[in-house]
């Protein structure tokens, strides 16, 4: 059985063998067998003693300076160690005075052995004291926290399925636990008041959360039993229960299996290090599996007539080429996004992407100019694309302040960003006398962008309707101008008759012009009013975040927008092909793919979940000198780091809204062709997003379910990171890999949740504005 | 009759599985310095060629879907050319998909292409042998109730198993174990091979187990 030694012992041994000083914070014990030398046992012992002395002096100095700075090492143990050290050193110096050269008097020889063992005892005790105090975990709190997160995930899952079944008691299930939480916290506070202990805020909040979750599960279980009693009396139990349940589980296995692999990858340090490649791989697999599943279920082929079934032939629908093009574009975007990765320091042979360095660091002016023009062209292209999308759906017609901002404010923002990039990337020495102007410009342009973006967001919040109304109804005013008094003379009567005649002429003219159509209110852009508001918000946020990153990362942001757009279209196309009638629920694969794309772009915007990879210079965009507070630079750096989380979380409601916006009327037209001609007058109009307003309860339930599904998937990833950090807390790479990953994932969770709430509240704000608009129309 | 069919399928599949195993062992006796991990590209070529020839021979001998019409020689030549073109196109398509999944774009092109050839041999070649160069029949077979004979069920199972095997074979790549089989594309091609062999063995067993539920529409 070979002897095992702690790894920290390598540090002083190698340092002393090389002849360099032992590192300052070492708490290892030197391996004295290496320092025996060639002589006899006595000279070996003397050499070992000197080596131990050096090591002990280093440890003592470290402990003394540490105890001056921090107080987590217990004072009496430090005192004891100090006594051990001083007595051993005293005896050693005494011994050395009695030794001449390497000749040791024979009576001192047994003292050498005991002195060596005293030094060893000191060093081992010092390490034990440090280990005990530093590598200290609270296992109970860790398990409690994991359980709380797991039950929250379960709550989200159960609530999202619950809301599907009935809307009435989902309110009771979700509202009452909100009251239970503070009650539980109050109980805990009372207990602490009686026992005279201090109340830990963390424990109090956890207790409140646990109590409210218990309340939810208790309500849910009661309702579940009631419902089971009701339905159990009506239907007998299905006979093929096990096989059907297995099939249902297999149906869910397809997106959940990918989520399982993603969470399982958090437990291996190699997979966490390589997560920049794992997330795109899983996302591509998810999309291909979706296409494969559609193919397997026969949704991609033309529905077979009896003749085709006989021949055994099948042929694809025409929409499949559209789907295949989208999938190909999606895969190309995913592959291209791998060119923007940053490197971790654990992988020495990795080269960080060339697009991460700012333009100012390029030496070749031609390349610099070319990249600058490309970046500005990308920004202009993004503005053009957003404006043409809005124009296509009729949202750019009105003269509201928001629409004017989209038409003129967006190009202005692009101009400011372009000027800022031009000034920031110019060489320091080339401008000479314009240095002061450059300093001012470097501060003014970003602040102009901040101001414009916040103006845009304020306008969006105040009046999010981008609808142009054309009212051709007749005004319900009086026919004649009213006048007071009795008509005294014939002149007054003569005054009335021409007005009546003019009014009759106008109404006849309008009736003749439009045939049988009634006068109506035409609203342009009402079918995509929710999505338009979200798209405008996302574009503004995108500009803000592009400003905080280096210039050439605008390629990555363009890939982000293109990939999100293509993903939404793939989702819509898959729904249309599968003939999914339930439009108010977002399937799991869509939510999981949206979150995988968010993780993918965390890495593709030049970030890694380690501290050295944080882009600190994002805090100085628009602020040339030091900051006064910590809040503003924290917000800027946080927005830079979690840019993709912010964009994808705010854009999450698009998963619900996009199938309504891209409502395919082709299927309806084809149905009409098959049916007889006399039903032509029952043309079903395209309602797009107004279909959501037809059933407002279902709309709000759908938003709630989408939010709960998103939180479930986020929570599952967070749970995996937390469990990995808990289980692997003694792993070699815990402080390099697992703990930073846990911190980044939890901060990302907080940011994503807040932005998800903001996105959903924006949709609800638009809903309120649309209701107000409708009520105003009805009043007139 | 049905049992005899399953027996023939089992024999054919076992022969294919055996041939795959032999390609790993036999060339070491004939060529010196050959090993599956060491000279992996050679092994990929040998395996693809062996599996392809064996499958072609088996289908010419066994003729599982006999068409009664006698075809002219020119028709046969055109069919053969069409098969070759489809096979080549499927190799290119697999190569593109593998690169889009994350394989290096410019480096290691030969390795990626030979892996694509191996995958095509396991999937497309079987389709070509069994169904001919008829895309509509392929579409029909790879849908839920589209298999019309036990050979087509077996085709479904072996194709899906080999692609799943290749997908799972990508998992060990990021691990830092420094094994020789973690080099690209060894783990993926070995995964595809294991999946193919497993599919060959599982398919007759699954068909035998489900023989009551499997009702094939007669043509």
**Residue A535 binned pLDDT confidence (cut-offs 50, 70, 90):** very high
Report the pLDDT value the prediction gives residue A252, as an integer from 0 to 100: 78
**Residue A672 binned pLDDT confidence (cut-offs 50, 70, 90):** very low
Interface of A with B (CB under 8 A): 268, 270-271, 273-274, 277-278, 280-281, 284-285, 288, 295-298, 301, 309-310, 312-316, 331-332, 334-335, 338
Least trusted range by pLDDT, from A41-45, A240-244, A761-765 = A240-244
* B219 interfaces chain A, CB cutoff of 8 Å: yes
Alpha helices in A463-550 (DSSP H): 490-513, 529-548
Q: What is the pLDDT of residues A379-412, one digit of tens each?
A: 999 999 999 999 999 889 888 899 999 999 999 9
Q: Domain map of chain B by residue range?
A: 1-61+73-217
| Nearest residue in A to B146, CA atom | A312
Task: Answer left, alpha or beta for residue A606, where phi above 0 means left and psi between -120 and 50 means alpha.
Answer: left
Mean pLDDT over residues A703-730, rounded?
94
Highest-pLDDT range among A164-168, A328-332, A503-507 = A328-332
Alpha helices in B63-185 (DSSP H): 73-101, 109-131, 135-141, 150-168
Mean pLDDT over residues A214-243, rounded?
74
* Yes or no, beta carbons of A309 and B176 under 8 Å apart: no
A104 and A173 part of one domain? no
Asked if B121 and B48 count as a contact pair (C-beta separation under 8 A), the reply is yes
Question: Mutating which of A296, A325, A351 best tests the B interface, going by the most B Cβ atoms within 10 A?
Answer: A296
In whole angstroms, give the CA distance from residue A37 to residue A40. Answer: 8
**Residue A483 binned pLDDT confidence (cut-offs 50, 70, 90):** low
Q: What is the pLDDT of residues A90-121, one digit of tens each?
A: 999 988 888 776 666 777 778 888 999 999 99
Residue A239: pLDDT over 60: no
A595 and A632 part of one domain? yes
User: Does residue A497 sit within a domain?
Assistant: no
In whole angstroms, give the CA distance from residue A132 to residue A136. Answer: 6
* B102 interfaces chain A, CB cutoff of 8 Å: yes
User: Does residue A515 sit within a domain?
Assistant: no
**Residue A496 binned pLDDT confidence (cut-offs 50, 70, 90):** confident
Highest-pLDDT range among A222-226, A596-600, A616-620 = A596-600
Nearest to B102 among A277, A297, A301 (CB): A277
A94 and A169 part of one domain? no
Contacts of B140 in chain A (CB under 8 A): 301, 312-314
Of residues A681 and A147, the one with the higher pLDDT is A147
- pLDDT above 70 covers a percentage of chain A that reads 88
DSSP-derived secondary structure for A174-215 = HHHHHHHHHHHHHHHHHHHHHHTPPPPHHHHHHHHHHHHHHH
Q: Is A520 helix (H, G, I), strand (E, B) or coil?
A: coil
* B217 interfaces chain A, CB cutoff of 8 Å: yes
Question: Which domain covers residue A185, as residue numbers?
Answer: 139-227
* Yes or no, beta carbons of A315 and B219 under 8 Å apart: no
Nearest to A281 among B102, B105, B217 (CB): B102
Report the pLDDT value the prediction gives residue A613, as an integer from 0 to 100: 92
Contacts of A301 in chain B (CB under 8 A): 139-140, 143
Pick from B25, B2, B6: which is nearest to B14 by CA?
B6
Kindly report the backbone phi and psi dihedral angles of residue A103, in degrees, each rounded to the nearest multiple of 5, phi listed first.
Answer: -90, 120
Q: What is the pLDDT of residues A253-283, one digit of tens each?
A: 888 999 999 999 999 999 999 999 999 999 9
Asked if A721 and A746 count as a contact pair (C-beta separation under 8 A), the reply is yes
CB pairs under 8 A between A and B: 63
Report the pLDDT value the prediction gives residue B119, as an integer from 0 to 100: 95
Question: Mutating which of B101, B146, B151 best tests the A interface, going by the most A Cβ atoms within 10 A?
Answer: B101
Burial class (CB in 10 A: 0-12, 13-18, 19+), A14: middle
Pick from A633, A535, A452, A585: which is nearest to A165 by CA?
A585
Asked if A299 and A580 count as a contact pair (C-beta separation under 8 A), the reply is no
Report the pLDDT value the prediction gives residue A107, as an integer from 0 to 100: 76
Report residue A239 as tokens: 């006979």
Pick from A591, A756, A577, A702: which is nearest to A258 by CA?
A591
Report the pLDDT value the prediction gives residue A680, as an integer from 0 to 100: 44
* B140 interfaces chain A, CB cutoff of 8 Å: yes
Tally the domains of chain A. Answer: 3
Mean pLDDT over residues B25-48, rounded?
87
Residue A427: pLDDT over 70: no
In whole angstroms, give the CA distance from residue A8 to residue A244. Answer: 57
Asked if A365 and A426 count as a contact pair (C-beta separation under 8 A), the reply is no
A207 and A337 part of one domain? no
| Nearest residue in A to B142, CA atom | A296
Report the pLDDT value the prediction gives residue B148, as an integer from 0 to 100: 82
A528 and A548 part of one domain? yes
* Yes or no, beta carbons of A301 and B137 under 8 Å apart: no
The length of chain A is 780
Mean pLDDT over residues B161-179, rounded?
93
The answer, yes or no, to whether the previous bond of B185 is cis (omega within 30 of 0) is yes
* Yes or no, beta carbons of B174 and A270 under 8 Å apart: yes
Burial class (CB in 10 A: 0-12, 13-18, 19+), A717: buried
A111 and A147 part of one domain? no
A112 and A217 part of one domain? no
Nearest to B101 among A274, A281, A312 (CB): A281
**How high is the mean pLDDT of chain B?**
88
User: Does residue A512 sit within a domain?
Assistant: no
Residue A451: pLDDT over 50: yes
Report the pLDDT value the prediction gives residue B216, as an integer from 0 to 100: 65
Report the pLDDT value the prediction gives residue A449, as an integer from 0 to 100: 96
The residue assigned the tokens 């990858």 is A265
In whole angstroms, give the CA distance from residue A619 to residue A634. Answer: 7
A388 and A416 part of one domain? yes
* B146 interfaces chain A, CB cutoff of 8 Å: yes
* Yes or no, beta carbons of B139 and A285 under 8 Å apart: no
In whole angstroms, give the CA distance from residue A334 to residue A350. Answer: 20
Residue B3: pLDDT over 80: no
Report the pLDDT value the prediction gives residue A237, as an integer from 0 to 100: 52
* Yes or no, beta carbons of B140 and A312 under 8 Å apart: yes
* Shortest CA gap B102–chain A (Å): 6
Mean pLDDT over residues A721-746, rounded?
92
Pick from A448, A439, A381: which is nearest to A417 by CA?
A448
Burial class (CB in 10 A: 0-12, 13-18, 19+), A125: middle
In whole angstroms, give the CA distance from residue A342 to residue A171. Answer: 46
Cα–Cα separations (whole angstroms), residue A110 to A41, A107, A115, A401: 12, 7, 9, 94
Greatest pairwise CA separation for chain A in angstroms: 149
Report the pLDDT value the prediction gives residue A595, as an integer from 0 to 100: 96
Burial class (CB in 10 A: 0-12, 13-18, 19+), A356: buried
Nearest to B102 among A280, A295, A316 (CB): A280
* B139 interfaces chain A, CB cutoff of 8 Å: yes
A304 and A399 part of one domain? yes
Angle (deg, nearest 10), helices A696-727 and A654-661: 140
Of residues A464 and B69, the one with the higher pLDDT is A464
Report the pLDDT value the prediction gives residue A778, as an integer from 0 to 100: 81
**How high is the mean pLDDT of chain A?**
86
Contacts of B97 in chain A (CB under 8 A): 288, 331
A162 and A21 part of one domain? no
The length of chain B is 219
- Spatial neighbors of A306 by CB under 8 A, at least 6 apart, are none
Contacts of B146 in chain A (CB under 8 A): 298, 314
Of residues A539 and A297, the one with the higher pLDDT is A539
Mean pLDDT over residues A710-721, rounded?
96
Cα–Cα separations (whole angstroms), residue B111 to A563, B40, B88, B197: 29, 9, 16, 22
**Residue A479 binned pLDDT confidence (cut-offs 50, 70, 90):** low
User: Does residue A237 sit within a domain?
Assistant: no
Angle (deg, nearest 10), helices A631-641 and A739-779: 90
**Residue A519 binned pLDDT confidence (cut-offs 50, 70, 90):** low
Mean pLDDT over residues A232-261, rounded?
74
**Residue A681 binned pLDDT confidence (cut-offs 50, 70, 90):** very low
User: Does residue A479 sit within a domain?
Assistant: no
In whole angstroms, give the CA distance from residue A306 to residue A239. Answer: 32
Highest-pLDDT range among A32-46, A200-214, A518-532 = A200-214
User: Does residue A487 sit within a domain?
Assistant: no
Report the pLDDT value the prediction gives residue A486, as an integer from 0 to 100: 64
* B143 interfaces chain A, CB cutoff of 8 Å: yes
Asked if B167 and A285 count as a contact pair (C-beta separation under 8 A), the reply is yes
Residue A185: pLDDT over 70: yes
Contacts of B148 in chain A (CB under 8 A): 312
Residue A675: pLDDT over 60: no
DSSP letter, residue A100: B
Residue A712: pLDDT over 90: yes
Which stretches does DSSP call E strand in A122-269?
none
Q: What is the pLDDT of residues B132-152, one digit of tens each?
A: 888 888 888 888 878 888 888
Report residue A155 as tokens: 């709550």
**Residue A474 binned pLDDT confidence (cut-offs 50, 70, 90):** low
Residue A596: pLDDT over 90: yes
**Residue A706 binned pLDDT confidence (cut-offs 50, 70, 90):** very high
Question: Mutating which of B98, B100, B216 best tests the A interface, going by the most A Cβ atoms within 10 A?
Answer: B100
Torsion angle, alpha carbons of A435, A436, A439, A440, to 10: -140
Half-sphere exposure of B19 (CA within 13 A, CB side): 21
Nearest to A295 among B101, B102, B143 (CB): B143
Pick from A751, A753, A740, A742: which is nearest to A717 by CA?
A742
The residue assigned the tokens 């704000």 is A765
* Shortest CA gap A281–chain B (Å): 6
């Amino acid at each position: 059985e070979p002897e095992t030694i702690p790894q920290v012992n390598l540090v002083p041994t190698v340092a002393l063998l090389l002849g360099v000083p032992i590192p300052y914070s070492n708490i290892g014990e030197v391996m004295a067998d290496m320092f025996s030398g060639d002589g006899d046992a006595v000279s070996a012992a003397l050499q070992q003693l000197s080596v131990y002395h050096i090591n002990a002096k280093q440890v003592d100095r470290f402990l003394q300076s540490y105890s001056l700075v921090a107080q987590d090492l217990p004072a009496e143990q430090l005192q004891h160690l100090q006594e051990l050290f001083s007595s051993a050193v005293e005896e050693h110096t005494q011994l050395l005075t009695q030794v001449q050269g390497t000749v040791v008097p024979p009576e001192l020889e047994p003292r050498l052995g005991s002195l060596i063992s005293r030094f060893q005892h000191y060093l081992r005790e010092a390490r034990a004291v440090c280990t005990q105090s530093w590598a200290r975990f609270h296992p109970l709190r860790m398990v409690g926290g994991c359980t709380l997160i797991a039950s929250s995930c379960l709550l989200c899952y159960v609530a999202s399925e619950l809301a599907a079944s009935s809307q009435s008691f989902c309110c009771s299930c979700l509202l009452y636990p909100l009251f239970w939480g503070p009650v539980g916290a109050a109980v805990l506070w009372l207990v602490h008041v009686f026992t005279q202990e201090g109340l830990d805020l963390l424990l109090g909040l956890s207790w409140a959360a646990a109590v409210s979750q218990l309340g939810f599960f208790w309500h849910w279980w009661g309702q579940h039993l009631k419902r089971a009693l009701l339905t159990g009396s009506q239907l007998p139990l299905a006979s093929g229960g096990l096989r059907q349940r297995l099939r249902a589980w297999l149906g869910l296995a397809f997106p959940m299996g990918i989520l399982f692999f993603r969470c399982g990858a958090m437990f291996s340090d190699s997979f966490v290090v390589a997560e920049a490649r794992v997330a795109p791989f899983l996302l591509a697999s998810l999309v291909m599996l979706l296409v494969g599943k559609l193919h397997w279920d026969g949704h991609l082929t033309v529905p077979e007539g009896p003749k085709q079934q006989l021949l055994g032939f099948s042929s694809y629908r025409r929409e499949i080429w559209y789907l295949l093009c989208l999938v190909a574009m999606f895969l190309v975007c995913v592959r291209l996004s791998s060119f923007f990765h940053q490197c971790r320091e654990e992988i020495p042979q990795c080269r960080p992407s060339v697009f991460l360095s700012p333009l100012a660091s390029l030496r070749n002016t031609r390349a610099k100019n070319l990249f600058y023009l490309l970046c500005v062209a990308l920004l202009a292209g993004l503005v053009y694309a957003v404006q043409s999308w809005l124009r296509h759906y009729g949202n750019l017609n009105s003269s509201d302040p928001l629409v004017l901002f989209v038409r003129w404010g967006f190009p202005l923002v692009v101009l400011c960003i372009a000027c800022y990039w031009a000034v920031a990337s110019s060489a320091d020495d080339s401008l000479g006398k314009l240095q002061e102007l450059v300093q001012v410009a470097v501060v003014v342009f970003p602040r102009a962008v901040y101001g414009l973006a916040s103006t845009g967001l304020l306008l969006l919040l105040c009046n999010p309707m981008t609808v142009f109304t054309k009212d051709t109804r007749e005004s319900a005013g009086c026919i004649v101008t009213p006048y007071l008094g009795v008509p005294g003379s014939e002149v007054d009567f003569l005054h009335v008759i021409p007005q009546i005649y003019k009014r009759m002429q106008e109404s006849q003219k309008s009736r003749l012009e439009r045939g049988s159509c009634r006068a109506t209110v035409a609203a342009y852009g009402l079918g995509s009013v929710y999505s338009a508001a979200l798209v405008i918000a996302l574009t503004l946020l995108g500009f803000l975040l592009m400003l905080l990153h280096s210039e050439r990362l605008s390629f990555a942001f363009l890939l982000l927008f293109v990939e999100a757009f293509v993903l939404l279209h793939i989702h819509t196309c898959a729904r249309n092909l599968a003939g999914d009638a339930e439009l108010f629920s977002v399937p799991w694969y869509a939510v999981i793919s949206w979150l995988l794309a968010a993780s993918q772009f965390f890495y593709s915007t030049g970030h890694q979940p380690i501290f050295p990879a944080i882009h600190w210079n994002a805090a100085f965009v628009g602020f040339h000198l030091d900051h006064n507070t910590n809040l503003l630079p924290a917000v800027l750096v946080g927005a830079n780091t979690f840019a993709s989380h912010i964009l994808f979380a705010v854009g999450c409601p698009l998963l619900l809204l996009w199938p309504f916006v891209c409502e395919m009327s082709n299927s309806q037209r084809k149905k009409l062709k098959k049916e007889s001609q006399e039903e032509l007058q029952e043309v079903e109009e395209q309602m797009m997003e107004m279909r959501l307003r037809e059933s407002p309860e279902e709309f709000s339930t759908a938003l709630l379910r989408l939010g709960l599904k998103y939180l479930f998937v986020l929570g599952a990833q967070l749970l995996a990171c937390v469990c990995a950090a808990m289980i692997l807390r003694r792993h070699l790479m815990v402080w390099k890999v697992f703990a930073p990953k846990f911190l980044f994932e939890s901060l990302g969770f907080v940011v994503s949740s807040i932005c998800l709430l903001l996105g959903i509240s924006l949709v609800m704000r638009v809903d309120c504005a649309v209701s107000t608009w409708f009520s105003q129309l009805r009043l007139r | 009759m049905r049992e005899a069919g399953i027996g023939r399928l089992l024999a054919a599949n076992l022969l294919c599985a055996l041939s795959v195993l032999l390609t790993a062992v036999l060339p070491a006796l004939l060529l010196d310095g050959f090993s599956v991990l060491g000279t992996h590209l050679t092994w990929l070529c040998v395996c693809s060629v062996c599996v392809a020839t064996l499958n072609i021979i088996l289908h010419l001998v066994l003729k599982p879907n006999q068409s009664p019409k006698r075809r002219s020689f020119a028709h046969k030549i055109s069919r053969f050319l069409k098969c070759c073109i489809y096979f080549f196109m499927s190799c290119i398509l697999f190569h593109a998909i593998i690169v889009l999944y994350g394989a290096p774009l410019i480096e290691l092109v030969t390795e990626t292409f030979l892996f694509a050839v191996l995958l095509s041999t396991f999937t497309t070649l079987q389709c070509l042998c069994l169904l001919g160069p008829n895309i509509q029949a392929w579409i029909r077979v790879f849908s839920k109730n589209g298999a019309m004979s036990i050979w087509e069920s077996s085709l479904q199972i072996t194709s899906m198993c080999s692609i799943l095997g290749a997908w799972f074979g990508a998992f060990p790549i990021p691990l830092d174990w420094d094994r020789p089989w973690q080099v690209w594309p060894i783990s993926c091609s070995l995964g595809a091979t294991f999946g193919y062999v497993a599919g060959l063995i599982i398919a007759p067993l699954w068909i035998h187990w489900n023989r009551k539920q499997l009702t094939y529409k007669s043509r």
